[in-house]
Amino acid sequence: MGSQDDFFEALGPTDPPPNDSPGFFTQATRLWRGADIAGKQLGVRGTGTDPGAPGIIGEGGPGGNGVFGHGMNGVVGLSATAIRNPATEASEPAGVFGVGDSSTAVGVRGESLGPNAGVVGISHTGPGGVGAGPGVRGLSDDGIGLVGQGDVGAIIEGKSLGLESSTESGAGIRGISNQDFGGVFESKKQAQVLLMPRDFDPRQLDNSEAGSLAVNLGRDPRTGNVFAQLWFCRVGGPPGTSQWHAIA
C-alpha cells in the first residue's frame, strides 16, 4: 500500500486463534496520535456485526477520557429505531445529545451502583458574568418535564458552588407557571406536603418574606408535651418588623 493509495482493505482472518487481532493497528511507542482520519461526510465509522458487539470502544489512559467529542454537539447518540433530525441538533447544541425512540429507549441514561449519582447536572456563571442557567432542565410538549422514582421520588437541594462559599443558598425547589399552579402535590396514603418542624422562633429569622409558612416545635406549658405549630408571615422584614401569626 502506498502512502497515497485510494483505499486499504484487510480481509483476514488473522492467525493464530482466537483470531482477534485487528485488521489495522498502530503502536504508540513513538506515535503521539494512533490515527488521523478525515472524510468529507464521515471521519470514522465503526460497526460491530455480531449480536451485542459495540461499534466503537474508547479507552483513555490514566486520568484520560474514553471518548472525547468536540463540535456543534460533542456526542450525538441515537437509539436503534430513532430518526436523526439535524435541525433539532442545531437548534439546541449540547455536549451530549441523545435521542430515544417512541417505545422503549431513552435519550440519555446514567446509572450508578454506589453512592454517586447516575447523572449530575452542573451550571456555572459564563464568561463576562452571564448568569448561570439550571443544572438540570426538564421539558415536555404535553407531558411531564421531570419524573423522579425511588424510595424518595426526588431530593432537590439549593446550594451555592461559588469559589468562596459552599454553603446552601437559594431555593431548593421553585415552581413557576404562567397559566396553572406553581406546584401540585398528590399522595395516596400520606399527607400531600410535609413541613419538617424546627426548634426555632420564625419571628427571629434574619429576613422574613411575606407569604412564608413555617413550622416550629412548641411545648404545652401544662403537660410539657411537644407539638408542631404552623406560622404564616403577613409582613416580611427583619426581626421586629416582620409579622408572623400562629395559625394552627
Give the side-chain half-sphere CA count within 13 A for 161: 10
Residue 165 clears pLDDT 50, i.e. is over it: no
Instruction: Write down the pTM of the prediction.
Output: 0.62
Question: What pLDDT digit, counting tens, does each position of 83-126 carry?
Answer: 888 998 898 888 899 998 887 888 888 888 888 888 888 888 88
Contact between 28 and 34 (Cβ < 8 Å): yes
484520560: which residue's cell? 64
Question: What pLDDT digit, counting tens, does each position of 24-68 carry?
Answer: 888 878 888 888 889 999 999 999 888 988 999 999 989 999 999
- How many of the other CB atoms lie within 10 Å of CB of 197? 16
Q: What is the rounded distance in angstroms from the CA atom of residue 173 to the CA atom of residue 183?
A: 10
State the DSSP H helix or E strand holding residue 142, giving kind and residue range, or none if neither: none
Q: What is the rounded distance in angstroms from the CA atom of residue 110 to the CA atom of residue 96?
A: 12
Kindly report the CA angle at 36 between 32 and 41, in degrees rounded to 5?
A: 160
Residue 243 clears pLDDT 50, i.e. is over it: yes
